[in-house]
Structures are given as structure tokens and as C-alpha cells.
Amino acid sequence: MQTVLILLGPPGAGKGTQAARLASALSSPHVSTGDLFRENLGKGTELGKKAKQYMESGQLVPDALVIDMLFDRVAKSDCAQGYLLDGFPRTVAQAQALDTRLQGSKVRALNLAVADATLVERLTGRWTCKACNHIHHERFSPPRQSGRCDKCGGELFQRNDDTHAVVEKRLSVYREQTKPVEAHYRAQGVLSDLDGSRAPDEVFKAMLAAARGEGR
Ligand code: AMP
């Protein structure tokens, strides 16, 4: 049966970092709507042009654009057995659209909780690899060579929505529009709550166990 794993939690909770590790441990494709938008932005596509203003100001891209883009991606053959969603759904309307699409599939949602002060510190110090999307942090996981990714040697950049002002906006958008998505999955009995403030390895182990349905 197709199994879809959904990672929930505020920006900076560690979804991207953990999703990459989980995807490789579970041999499941990592589908990040933020990465898909950044790819479109980089290539200058129509979709990228439409998404740009929302992304740069920390707002959500309208549901219809996100849902179409995501559904196109997960229709590809590598997702047939299942996939791991990072950054989607971010509104209850997106969650409802996904429910309709996933009837008959197994769904599990992992919710990472982290205090706001920690999120701001994590996001404003974050450096992402242009080539492989690996994430470094200037204090918590600095690259061995300044400006270069430890994993692939690619160039590191600071996302322009990781500035202090845009991070505050993203957190308030999260509280208003994305937080209710937790209740949506809790009501379905498929949500696991996890403490995302622990060391990355510990969080990873807990997420992997929850993804496999252990301890339930
Ligand atoms: P992320 O990399 O997940 O933090 O996403 C970066 C930005 O892309 C967000 O701040 C939004 O502007 C946009 N975005 C990504 N995923 C979604 C989504 N599911 N719904 C609406 N906007 C999204």
C-alpha cells in the first residue's frame, strides 16, 4: 500500500534536515514544496515568478498553485510506493485536498515542536547548499570550509526569507494558517508529537520509530 509520511512543524523545526535523512533511511522520495518553488524561481518559470513575491515576504503561496505543483510532482513514478512530504500541507484546505487524493493510502504525520526563540536562532543562522540542499548553521553545524558544503562542496547561500523580519512573519503565518493542520491529522488519529529541540540524531531516531509506527 502507498505510504505517505507528512512532516509538520514551524519553519526551523528541522523538517528539511530530518526529511533528507528519513527519505534515505526509508528509501522514499523527499518532496519539499519549498525546494520545488525555489527550483522554479531559479529557472525563472511562470510558476516561480508567481510564487516569488509571496516567498520573499514570508507569506504562503496561494493554495491552488501549491496543490497543482505538488500533485504534478507526486504523480511521477518514483512516488508510486509512497513519499515524504516536507512543507506541505500548510493550510487546512491543502490537507483536505491531499485527503481526497490519498484515499486508500496509508498516511502518518509527524509533528515537530520547538520553542519560538530557538526557531529564530536556527533560521537566521542557516546556510543552505545550492547544489544538494544540505543545511549548515553558522554556530551549530558550521562547514569545515567557509561558504562550502561539507557534503558535496557546493556553494552555501543564506535564503533571503531567513532574515529576522521575514522569519517573524513566517512564524506568525505558521501560527495562523498552518497550526490548525495539526488538529486535522490529530482528529484522524495519525499524528505523532515529537520534541524537535533535542540534538538532531535523537530527533531522527524518534522520527524514524514514529514513521515505522513503533511505540503505538
Ligand atoms: P520552506 O522551504 O518550506 O520554508 O518554504 C519556503 C516558502 O515557500 C514558504 O515561506 C512559502 O512562501 C512557500 N511555500 C512552501 N510550501 C508551501 C505550501 N505548502 N503552501 C504555501 N506556500 C508554501
* The domain defined by 3-28+81-211 carries CATH number 3.40.720.10: no
Catalytic residue list contains 186: no
pLDDT value at residue 144: 97
For residue 159, indicate whether it is catalytic.
Answer: yes
pLDDT tens for residues 66-77? 999 999 999 999
Q: Break the chain into its structural domains and give their ranges.
A: 3-28+81-211
Examine the residue annotation and report whether 170 is marked as an active-site residue of this protein: yes
| pLDDT of res. 111 | 97
Q: Tens of pLDDT along the chain (216 residues)?
A: 899 999 999 999 999 999 999 999 999 999 999 999 999 999 999 999 999 999 999 999 999 999 999 999 999 999 999 999 999 999 999 999 999 999 999 999 999 999 999 999 999 999 999 999 999 999 999 999 999 999 999 999 999 899 999 999 999 999 999 999 999 999 999 999 999 999 999 999 999 999 988 755
User: In the chain, what are the helix, strand and coil shares in percent, each to the nearest 5?
Assistant: 50, 20, 35
108 catalytically annotated: no
Specify the pTM: 0.92
DSSP 32-57: EHHHHHHHHHHHT-HHHHHHHHHHHT
Q: Assess whether the C-beta atom of 61 lies below 6 angstroms from ligand 1.
A: yes
Q: Is 33 in the pocket of ligand 1 (CB under 6 A)?
A: yes
pLDDT at 215: 57
Q: Decide: 18 in ligand 1 pocket, CB within 6 A.
A: no
**97 alpha carbon, distance to own chain's centre:** 18
CA 198 to centroid of ligand 1, rounded, Å: 24
Strand partners, 126: 137
- Cα of 173 vs centre of ligand 1, distance in Å, is 11
Distance CA 3, CA 130 (A): 29
From 184, 170, 177, select the one nearest 119 (Cα to Cα): 170
